[in-house]
Amino acid sequence: MEWLVSGLVIDMEAKVEADLRDLQEKVVSCRRCSRLIRHISAVARLKVPRYKDWKYWGKPLPSFGDPHAQLLVVGLAPAAHGGNRTGRMFTGDASGDWLIRALYETKFANQSCSVSRNNGLELTSAYITAIVRCAPPKNKPTKQEILNCSEYLVGELELLKNVRVVLTLGRIAFDTYVRVAKTERGRRLKFRHGSIHTLAEDTPLLAVSYHPSRQNTQTGRLKWRVWLKVFEDIRRILDRSEVQGVIV
């Protein structure tokens, strides 16, 4: 009986991993948003001088991380010369530098930086996704483009059954996740950096942060110590044996 139970668990874990791979393959082959496809293709073709020797990814970006993650990080979209170049979210740009370093310092990542898709980065109990999988012009996806991509986020939420905290980076990611979560409490929430909320009994906690974009970090709106505290708070929550009440 113990062997049968163990085998069943292994089979279920393998199925989740396979289903996530299938979902990410659908993401990469997606062509729903013609404006975005034209943009990422043009960026990949024209490049910028400092990356002239790179072969750009130039396709919609898959999510990545631990398929059994307890933390799901939801960003806005890939950067034109970051993820759209390297082929991995939050890799090869300043926002990625801040995110991966914070994950490393709170023991969600095995290294403190991510500069390319094959540089040995591994996430432990964390998974990184975004509400839009293609780099949008001027970092501004349209409402329809966000809606088109929401199906993939919904699919990930259904497959990542161990997630206990969802961290949204920026107001658009926050608004999109709250809409996808479809909870009464979520509809009443307002964006506030550093807040953590219980949306419903059967949903993960929602953690809220500014996005670590240059616009926020270089202006001082988001300081390193304040940013890191978000991840430290999440780590403390996950390290507790049980989450009780609403944290705001």
Structural domains for the chain: 2-239 (3.40.470.10)
Write down the pLDDT at residue 125.
98
Write down the pLDDT at residue 43.
98
- Which amino acid is present at 70? Q
Write down the pLDDT at residue 7.
58
CA 176/CA 178 separation, integer angstroms = 5
Which pair of tokens denotes residue 99? 């995110």
Write down the pLDDT at residue 34.
98
Which pair of tokens denotes residue 75? 């960003």
Distance from the Cα of residue 152 to its chain's centroid: 12
Place of tokens 């940013």: 227
pTM confidence score: 0.93
**Residues 79, 113, 29, CA angle at the centre, nearest 5°?**
40
pLDDT average per 10 residues of sequence, the chain (248 residues) = 52 90 98 98 97 97 97 98 98 98 98 95 98 97 98 97 97 97 91 96 95 97 98 96 43
Write down the pLDDT at residue 242.
44
